Amino acid sequence: MNHKRWHILPPVPHGHPLGKSGLSPLVTQILFNRGIAEPSQVEPFFKADKRLSFDPFLLPDMEIAVTRIYRAMLAGEKIAIYGDFDADGITSTALLIEGLRTFNVQAIPYIPHRLNEGHGLKITALEALHNEGVSLIITTDCGITGINPVKKANRLGMDVIITDHHTPTEELPQALAVVNPKRTDSHYPFIELAGVGVAYKLLQALLMGINKENQLSEVTDMVAIGTVADMTPLLSENRYLVKEGLQRMNASLRLGLGELLAKAGLQSGNLTSENITWTIAPRLNTASRLDHALPSYELLTTDIPERAGELAGWLEQKNTERQQMTSKAAEIAKKKVLAEGVQPILIVSIDDYSAGIAGLVANKLTDEFYRPSVIIKIGKKISTGSCRSIREFNIINALTQCRDLFLDYGGHAGAAGFMILSNKLPYLYERLMKIAETQLAGVDLRPKIDIDAEVSLQDLAGDAYRMIQQLAPFGQGNPAPTFISRNVDVVSQRTMGSTNGHLRLKLQQDKMVWDAVGFGLGENQGELSAPLDIVYNLELDQWNGKSTLRLNLLDFASK
């Protein structure tokens, strides 16, 4: 077993103001670990209410964008929403199309084909929209690097409003408005909105102008899906938006999502951010990975039951295909890595597989080897790459150092992509390898687990789980609390799953016995010997109508 680095977060200092909050020491420690510094911040964190939301007009160019959209509405101009093809972009597009209907505006959606067009604004698409009579384009979850396409749109006489959350380059597109919290001149208090979060703030600003801000609740479900799917930190305003969206989903699930969940064996009422991560987002993303994103967009917007069922069934089938393709491609990529030797950055080309799964394969390599990974689909003239990274290596910064080689690129610290002339690939390989060798020299390249607190199993009895759940929704930036317990005895153990890849255990400490499960740890059964130090989450297992509290084992060490 490739054991991880254990990092126990520092305890709350003696005399710290949080100690006067009246909460249990365990919850106080977790809040401290999440950056809560004052007792006055505790209630807003727990409530995750509108106090965490900010004025949309603090975003750069928001007033310009709103004024132009109002003018287009009054003049009856044709508006297009140009979105990205992932779950964040799909929900962003659906949100703005639905939101503009409040103003009796029938905007048209445009989502590029992942494989044929790629990410971002494309000149051919803008020309096609111009020929359809579009005079205003609003981008969502894309556009921040579209320097040349925006210039083309300007020459065609079309106005472009960019709403995006990706990191801008030094030069901004010459759009009418560029609404992005990551702009260096932005004064917005929270920079980690997802693309759908920025779209939501644009709609909020528009609705504020007609005193209909209350209608925002109708689209918060899509904000929650896009925000969680794009792995943005669930802190500050994102925490509020996701909590509102989950409440909306559990109270009134839109037709297509209901069908999607039914096909996956889930139902509304107790949906969590984890259900978005593991069930909803992969299925919405599957459409563009193997075909086109429009079926996922239609699933979110249809009000025809028969069509919703058809789309959900198609997505379920495609998701199964996607899983099988990803497993096969990842196994081939892994063999290539081992044959060539594990380098500081893993750069692998794949053939005979859809480029749409390249990011998933890169993610599997990064999980397996804890290295930044680049999967390249090589074409005769143009190649595309998908990147995933580790916390110690900012992949978008690395790509930026190679930007002169790319036709296009973009992304985040942990995930990015690029398009490049195939004859330039050797130069890219050489540069990325040097960057990684320099930045990762001396770094212990094993995944690190941040541990919130050392506890006994007895500490987690009673209402501890209920108190911990008040910290939800969990996700990036606010992970499910992780604990360590020492000197734990193994009462019983067995493997489970079709390939015996998981462990089911009974663990005991001072007469307190807990059920535990270790996903992916089945092959390490031989390492179990009492006593153990264990690292784990506390979770509620729901199966066959029963709910059982258990430990989700993340790592262990024999004494």
- Under 8 Å between Cβ of 555 and 446: no
Out of 439, 469, 493, a domain closes at 439
Q: Is residue 506 part of a domain?
A: yes
- Under 8 Å between Cβ of 27 and 467: yes
Residue 78: count other Cβ atoms within 10 Å of its Cβ: 17
Q: Is residue 18 part of a domain?
A: no
Same domain flag for 139 and 89: yes
**E strand map for 231-381:** 346-349, 373-377
Minimal CA–CA distance to 491: which of 548, 532, 461? 532
The CATH number of the domain where 433 resides is what? 3.10.310.30
pLDDT at site 501: 84
Same domain flag for 507 and 475: yes
CA–CA dist 319, 321 (Å, integer): 5
Q: Is residue 349 part of a domain?
A: yes
Same domain flag for 72 and 149: yes
Minimal CA–CA distance to 363: which of 388, 395, 326? 388
Cis peptide before 473 (omega within 30 of 0): yes
Contacts of 391 (CB under 8 A, 6+ apart): 414, 448
Same domain flag for 355 and 223: no
CA–CA dist 217, 124 (Å, integer): 36
Task: Give the residue numbers spanning the domain of 415.
Answer: 342-439
Predicted confidence (pLDDT) per residue in 272-304, tens digit:
999 999 999 999 999 999 999 999 999 999 999
Give the amino acid at 291: D
Q: Is residue 246 part of a domain?
A: no
Same domain flag for 453 and 434: no
Sign of the Cα torsion 122, 125, 131, 136 reads: negative
Same domain flag for 478 and 430: no
DSSP annotation of 475 reads B
Q: Is residue 255 part of a domain?
A: no
CA–CA dist 227, 250 (Å, integer): 17
Token pair for 214: 């209350």
Q: Is residue 284 part of a domain?
A: no
The CATH number of the domain where 525 resides is what? 2.40.50.460
> Phi, psi at residue 449, to the nearest 5°?
-105, 120
- What is the side-by-side strand order in the sheet with 406-411? 346-349, 373-377, 382-388, 415-421, 406-411
Same domain flag for 79 and 170: yes
Give the amino acid at 511: K
Q: Is 259 helix (H, G, I), strand (E, B) or coil?
A: helix
pTM, to two decimals: 0.90
Token pair for 190: 């929270």
- Under 8 Å between Cβ of 347 and 374: yes
Minimal CA–CA distance to 143: which of 128, 153, 133? 153
For the chain, what is the domain count? 3
- Under 8 Å between Cβ of 553 and 503: yes
Predicted confidence (pLDDT) per residue in 139-184, tens digit:
999 999 999 999 999 999 999 999 999 989 889 999 999 999 999 9
Same domain flag for 462 and 431: no
Token pair for 278: 């593991």
Residues in the chain: 559
pLDDT at site 116: 87
Q: Is residue 514 part of a domain?
A: yes
Q: Is 19 helix (H, G, I), strand (E, B) or coil?
A: helix
First to last CA, the chain: 16
Out of 204, 231, 258, a domain closes at 231
Give the amino acid at 42: V
Same domain flag for 416 and 485: no
CA-CA-CA-CA torsion for 346, 347, 353, 359, nearest 10 degrees? Answer: 60
CA–CA dist 315, 299 (Å, integer): 9
Same domain flag for 177 and 82: yes
The CATH number of the domain where 212 resides is what? 3.90.1640.30
Q: Is residue 490 part of a domain?
A: yes
Same domain flag for 177 and 227: yes
Same domain flag for 122 and 99: yes
Per-residue pLDDT of the chain (559 residues; tens, 9 = 90+): 468 999 999 999 999 999 888 889 999 999 999 999 899 999 999 999 999 999 999 999 999 999 999 999 999 999 999 999 999 999 999 999 999 999 999 999 999 998 888 889 999 999 999 999 999 999 999 999 999 999 999 999 999 999 999 989 889 999 999 999 999 999 999 999 999 999 999 999 999 999 999 999 999 999 999 999 999 999 999 999 999 999 999 999 999 999 999 999 888 888 999 999 999 999 999 999 999 999 999 999 999 999 999 999 999 999 999 999 999 999 999 999 999 999 999 999 987 777 889 999 999 999 999 999 999 999 999 999 999 999 999 999 999 999 999 998 888 889 999 999 999 999 999 999 999 999 999 999 998 999 999 999 999 988 889 999 999 999 999 999 999 999 999 999 998 877 778 999 999 999 899 999 999 888 888 888 879 999 999 998 877 667 789 999 999 998 7
pLDDT at site 1: 47
CA–CA dist 24, 464 (Å, integer): 9
Out of 193, 214, 231, a domain closes at 231
Give the amino acid at 541: D
Helices (H), 341-382: 358-369
